[in-house]
Amino acid sequence: MPPSSQSTNSNQLPSYSARGRYYRGSFFLWKKIFGLFWYYKFVRLFLSSKSREERELEFYKSLGLECRDFFLKMGGVYVKLGQYFASLSHLFPESFTEPLQDLQDRVPPHLFSEIKERFKKEFGKEIAQVFPDISEAPLASASIAQVHSATFKGEKVAVKILYPGIEEIIEKDLKAVRKFLKRINRFLVTFDFKIVHKEIAKLVGRETDLRLEAESMDRMARYFAEEPDYVFPKLVPEWSGKSVLTAQFIEGKRITQAGILKKGQAKSRPVDLLIRAYILMIFEYRFYHADPHPGNMIYTPDEKLCFIDFGAVGEIPPSQAVALRKIILCAMTKDYPALVEALDELGLVSKKADREKLEEVVRYSMEKLSKFLSDTDSFKNIKFEQIHTPEDLKFLKEINSSLRGLLRMIQLPTALVPLERVLGLLVGITASLDPYRTVLDYGEKPFKGLVFQGENQWQKVLVQEGGIWGQAVSLPGELLQAVKNLNRGKQAYKLPDLEQHTKKMYSLGHQIISTTFILFGIHYGTDRLDKGIETQAMVAYGVSVFFGILLALSVIKNKFSSKRNRQ
């Protein structure tokens, strides 16, 4: 893509003062929040159904264009924010997300003369001496760097170079973002904004040191060495450093350009590969690519999936992995008290939380989202009214609680912030390429293979760990629940045929994929939904819907299994 007239604007970014960037961002944020509030609380009430659809199409298209132009003008962290919104096609109307696609790899580039200076500063050599045929027009320009094609030792390579002064821009932006979060926490909704800001700063800060990205890319390539369907660019270490990364060039197209499925068609191979990759990353390696927006995934001509841009990665500590496994098991056995305990072990439940109310929230979420799944034909562009129903407030009144009360019961550990974002991006890409299936539809087979086949560490854990794990493997669901009820001082109930329910437990075990990514999201997902209702932070409730969908599908399958056994 040749440099455009917009390049001048992007190059002016370092001259913005921290205060100036903050005021620009603050004014834009509150202006859009007010616009959304005004439309949904007043204008929308006076429109007919037909007029409402036309007005909303125009409204969101205009909003998308304005956001795109603003993010491009500001650059830095703002472009990363826009990339995230662009991937949430399951939540936002297509008229809004389509303009934001330009933020994936069409950010106005910097002048090549500045890029050459950055390269010379890194290595002390002119870039033309190392790469005589390097293209002055970048292949892609993103939030913090741009990529140029070149040839090295007879092979085509991609040379990624940080923008001059990008570190200073990011430092200013992070200060502004902290102020935004602080004000949102004060005036809109209560949350631990310091933790959220800390994680954002950590993720973005990593991206300004390309040596860390090179290490992560090499590490992931080693993990996937035996997986023939995945490709990772080979590093050129002699011409890679803090501000420059040179790697093998991979031919292909963005994953979202692979084609949208029509109803009734077979599963999408790109989505299949994507979800399988993340199941391996999260549950096998506990190390994952933390920025899976479409511009960072290439679908190759030979139908393989390539991951690029490893500036943002995440790791899941062993202790959290154990808690996640407990949540899966408790969801399978519908042991809500133990499920709340597992959520607590994961760090999601505050010390002042009312455990009984949390159990009721879990029950309600399962029933509501089960109905949502059965009534929903397409999971793309889910409307607000499909999720938020009058029954929600009625339920809260019945348990003598409120939205704010529920918010005070939960907290989000820092380590889970990037994972939450990843899940939102995955559900968005899935909805974009295959509107008629969920992530669970794609994840069931690979997750079964990981957990129940071969002598992998997950299987060993389930067999060898004592307590609840041994009980789950050896006892049918009702018997296990009865034992737990007795331990808690509750009355046990009469069991049906033991052999029949042993088979049922075995069947449910093979459907563990139905709760793959709901690990910590049963209660937290509901809370995020409620948080989105109060603040219109639709990104938050979109992620909560995703968590709930995962849980509900598992419940539905177990319910059908029970019906077959009774027949």
The whole-model pTM stands at: 0.64
Query: Quick one: pLDDT at residue 10?
Result: 40
What is the rounded average pLDDT of the residues 562-567?
Answer: 54
pLDDT by residue (tens digit) across 260-307?
888 888 899 999 999 999 989 988 899 999 888 888 999 999 999 999
Predicted confidence (pLDDT) at residue 175 exceeds the cutoff of 50: yes
Query: Quick one: pLDDT at residue 393?
Result: 54
Q: Are 289 and 312 in contact (CB under 8 A)?
A: yes
Query: Quick one: pLDDT at residue 556?
Result: 56
Residue 288: which H helix or E strand, with range?
strand 287-289
- What mean pLDDT value characterizes the chain? 73
Q: How confident is the model at residue 158 (pLDDT cuts 50, 70, 90)?
A: very high
Place of tokens 């409730």: 541
From residue 68, alpha-carbon distances to 62, 74, 80 in Å are 10, 10, 11
DSSP 531-547: HHHHH--HHHHHHHHHH
Residue 88: which H helix or E strand, with range?
none
For 426, other C-beta atoms within 10 Å of its C-beta total 21
Query: Quick one: pLDDT at residue 7?
Result: 37
- Strand ranges, E, within 495-552: none
Residue among 133, 523, 175 nearest 366 (CA): 523
Q: Which of 218-222, 470-474, 537-541 has the lowest mean pLDDT?
A: 470-474
Structure-block tokens of residue 518: 């709901």
Query: Quick one: pLDDT at residue 217?
Result: 97
Q: How confident is the model at residue 311 (pLDDT cuts 50, 70, 90)?
A: confident
Predicted confidence (pLDDT) at residue 462 exceeds the cutoff of 80: no
Sign of the torsion angle spanned by Cα atoms 242, 248, 254, 255: negative
Predicted confidence (pLDDT) at residue 464 exceeds the cutoff of 50: no
Predicted confidence (pLDDT) at residue 243 exceeds the cutoff of 60: yes
Q: Are 485 and 491 in contact (CB under 8 A)?
A: yes
| Percentage, residues of the chain above pLDDT 90 | 23
Q: Are 189 and 537 in contact (CB under 8 A)?
A: yes
Place of tokens 């002048």: 111
Distance CA 328, CA 452 (A): 14
What is the rounded average pLDDT of the residues 441-450?
Answer: 77
Q: Which of 121-130, 189-198, 471-480 has the lowest mean pLDDT?
A: 471-480
Predicted confidence (pLDDT) at residue 221 exceeds the cutoff of 50: yes
Place of tokens 């959304």: 36
Distance CA 465, CA 469 (A): 6
Max CA separation in the chain (angstroms): 81
Core vs surface per residue 295-321: b (16+ CB within 10 A) or e: bbbbbeeeebbbbbbbbbbbebeeebb
pLDDT by residue (tens digit) across 335-364?
777 777 888 888 888 777 777 787 787 777
Three-state DSSP class for 35?
A: helix
Q: Are 82 and 68 in contact (CB under 8 A)?
A: yes
- Between 385 and 208, the higher pLDDT residue: 208
Query: Quick one: pLDDT at residue 536?
Result: 45
What is the rounded average pLDDT of the residues 219-234?
Answer: 97
Residue among 316, 317, 143, 287 nearest 217 (CA): 287
Predicted confidence (pLDDT) at residue 369 exceeds the cutoff of 60: no
Highest mean pLDDT among 42-46, 98-102, 118-122, 475-479: 118-122
Query: Quick one: pLDDT at residue 117?
Result: 94
Query: Quick one: pLDDT at residue 424?
Result: 79
Core vs surface per residue 150-188: b (16+ CB within 10 A) or e: bebeeeebbbbbbbbebbebbbbbbebbbebbeebeeee
Residue among 119, 172, 125 nearest 146 (CA): 119
| Percentage, residues of the chain above pLDDT 70 | 62
Instruction: In the chain, count H helices and then E strands.
Output: 26, 10
What is the rounded average pLDDT of the residues 173-194?
Answer: 72
Distance CA 341, CA 56 (A): 43
DSSP 158-201: EEEEEPTTHHHHHHHHHHHHHHHHHHHHHHT----HHHHHHHHH
Total number of residues shown for the chain: 567
Phi, psi of 179 (to 5 degrees): -65, -40
Domain boundaries, the chain: 7-105, 318-566
For 343, other C-beta atoms within 10 Å of its C-beta total 26
Predicted confidence (pLDDT) at residue 513 exceeds the cutoff of 50: no
Query: Quick one: pLDDT at residue 468?
Result: 41
Predicted confidence (pLDDT) at residue 90 exceeds the cutoff of 70: no
What is the rounded average pLDDT of the residues 139-150?
Answer: 89
Q: Are 177 and 207 in contact (CB under 8 A)?
A: no
Q: Helices marked H in 334-474 — which ranges?
A: 336-345, 355-375, 384-387, 390-398, 403-407, 417-433, 439-452, 457-464, 468-474
Distance CA 283, CA 289 (A): 13
Query: Quick one: pLDDT at residue 409?
Result: 72
- Between 294 and 200, the higher pLDDT residue: 294
Residue 298: which H helix or E strand, with range?
strand 297-299
Query: Quick one: pLDDT at residue 276?
Result: 95
- Between 544 and 243, the higher pLDDT residue: 243
Q: Are 426 and 278 in contact (CB under 8 A)?
A: yes
Q: Are 148 and 130 in contact (CB under 8 A)?
A: no
From residue 36, alpha-carbon distances to 29, 31, 33, 49, 51 in Å are 11, 9, 5, 18, 17
Q: What single letter denotes the amino acid at residue 556? A: I
DSSP 421-456: HHHHHHHHHHHHH-TT--HHHHHHHHHHHHHHSSS-
- Between 487 and 510, the higher pLDDT residue: 487
Q: Are 119 and 147 in contact (CB under 8 A)?
A: no
